[in-house]
């Protein structure tokens, strides 16, 4: 994590989650934004026309500890913070943390922190939806993301990024450590473990599982509307879920490096992995076989 994570670590570990919170937990680039939009929409009573940014509706708990503190935050988030916290300085209090604190119940909270960095009592209080994605596609997507965001602004090519990824040196890694903690808790009654590839393969099936787990009691027709509303083309076209241009304007994203919502497909890794990179990847998976052997990832569909 970046060094300023130390300012917030104890706050995250002792965070007061509420009984009606739903926490979306993922390693980065595993379908988090998609799951956020789906679950928030379901829990909001199918509000399809809101223009409010997703990070306001579904706060990103620890983003204060990831974002470069010298960069200007998105204006919509600052306005929301000031409306909820009159007289407070968002840069001092923690913009994203305070938005989470002041989000009305029922809250849908996003985090890339693993279970070990959050309260040990989390599952005694709240529900967690853990979303996992095969590590090859995760690596490709994270590579593009790390080149896009100014808080890292990765300069190298994919081969160099995969070298860091397979040496467990990326921000918010290691991958297997994170996903392994989620997999261990998959049978807990307050955990729903989803695979990104399953969501792509049959969205309605996974929406039904979410409907039962979260208790939203939506009809089949409402679930079809949610599926359409949260389709890749729909999410890519909306600034509330794809804030690329706004983030470029305030200096948080690098221009010319694609978009926050990029391809949204499964199996794109075949366009990046050479035989040499494939061998390096296999060696990394083998080193983590005590975790990797347990999780039935799909690498093609």
Decide: 196 and 131 in contact? Cβ < 8 Å. Answer: yes
Count of other CB atoms within 10 angstroms of residue 36: 25
φ, ψ of residue 191 to 5 degrees: the values are -125, 130
Decide: 132 and 30 in contact? Cβ < 8 Å. Answer: yes
Catalytic residue among 27, 112, 145, 178: 112
Nearest to 173 by CA among 221, 125, 117: 117
Structure tokens at 226: 């949610």
Decide: 47 and 218 in contact? Cβ < 8 Å. Answer: no
- The Cα–Cα gap between 31 and 129 comes to 12
Q: Which residues fall within 8 angstroms of residue 115, CB to CB, at 6 or more apart?
A: 25, 122, 181, 182, 185
Residues β-bridged to residue 253: 149
Decide: 111 and 61 in contact? Cβ < 8 Å. Answer: yes
- The Cα–Cα gap between 243 and 236 comes to 9
- The Cα–Cα gap between 182 and 214 comes to 18
**Terminal-to-terminal C-alpha distance of the chain:** 33
Instruction: Count helices and strands (H / E) in the chain.
Output: 17, 4
Q: Is there a catalytic annotation at residue 112?
A: yes
Q: Which residues fall within 8 angstroms of residue 164, CB to CB, at 6 or more apart?
A: 170
Decide: 230 and 41 in contact? Cβ < 8 Å. Answer: yes
Residues marked as catalytic: 112
């Amino acid at each position: 994590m970046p060094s300023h994570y130390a300012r917030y670590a104890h706050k995250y570990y002792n965070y007061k989650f509420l009984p009606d919170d739903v926490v979306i937990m993922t390693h980065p680039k595993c379908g988090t934004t998609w799951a956020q939009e789906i679950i928030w929409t379901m829990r909001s009573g199918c509000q399809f026309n809101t223009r409010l940014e997703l990070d306001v509706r579904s706060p990103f708990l620890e983003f204060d500890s990831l974002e470069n503190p010298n960069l200007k935050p998105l204006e919509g988030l600052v306005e929301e913070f000031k409306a909820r916290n009159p007289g407070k300085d968002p840069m001092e209090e923690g913009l994203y943390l305070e938005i989470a604190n002041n989000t009305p119940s029922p809250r849908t909270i996003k985090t890339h922190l693993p279970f070990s960095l959050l309260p040990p009592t989390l599952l005694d209080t709240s529900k967690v939806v853990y979303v996992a994605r095969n590590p090859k596609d995760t690596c490709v997507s994270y590579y593009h993301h790390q080149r896009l965001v100014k808080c890292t602004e990765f300069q190298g090519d994919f081969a160099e990024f995969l070298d860091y990824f397979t040496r467990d040196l990326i921000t918010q890694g290691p991958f297997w450590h994170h996903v392994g903690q989620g997999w261990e808790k998959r049978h807990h009654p307050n955990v729903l473990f989803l695979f990104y590839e399953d969501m792509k393969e049959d969205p309605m099936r996974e929406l039904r599982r979410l409907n039962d787990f979260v208790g939203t009691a939506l009809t089949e027709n409402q679930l079809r509307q949610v599926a359409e509303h949260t389709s890749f083309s729909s999410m890519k076209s909306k600034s509330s879920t794809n804030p690329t241009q706004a983030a470029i304007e305030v200096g948080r994203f690098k221009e010319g490096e694609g978009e926050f919502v990029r391809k949204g497909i499964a199996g794109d890794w075949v366009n990046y992995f050479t035989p040499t990179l494939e061998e390096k990847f296999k060696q990394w998976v083998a080193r983590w076989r005590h975790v990797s052997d347990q999780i039935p990832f799909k690498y093609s569909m």
